[in-house]
Amino acid sequence: MPETAPTSPVRVDAWLWSVRVFKTRSEATTACRAGHVTIGGDPAKASLKISPGTTVRVRRPGHEIVLEVVHTHAKRVGAPVAQRAYRDHSPERIRPRDVGLPVRPRGAGRPTKRERRQLDRLRGDL
């Protein structure tokens, strides 16, 4: 689709799927029904039509995605085209290691009794 081509309004769930925010359209629809997708501070129904200039917020586990619609696509597009369809205004993700919290290496198994005591002390549980 050329950059200057006019874009018509499209359903929010179809757009989120087409620009690869969700893997499936049904996953995008479920997120809308659960209230994880908001437009203008209000929960968005999956059938809500969006057009360029709309700001869409998607709440995901551990972070929030804030996207400004630049182009609307009703069909799924490739990753390079999808990245040009929106402007990402998402806040920076905060990771536990960036804050100074201890992080166990993946695959290390369950914490030992000593490590559990240290975690309890850190949290203030003891």
Convert the pLDDT of each residue in 52-77 to its tens digit: 999 999 999 878 999 999 999 889 99
4 shares its domain with 37: yes
107 shares its domain with 81: no
pLDDT-flagged residues of the chain (< 50): 1-4
113 shares its domain with 77: no
Nearest alpha-carbon partner for 45 in 59, 57, 31, 55:
31
67 shares its domain with 25: yes
35 shares its domain with 86: yes
pTM attached to this predicted model: 0.73
User: Could you give the CA distance from residue 13 to residue 73 in angstroms, rounded to a whole number?
Assistant: 11
Give the CATH number for residue 22: 3.10.290.10
87 shares its domain with 104: no
Q: Phi and psi (nearest 5°) for 73?
A: -130, 130
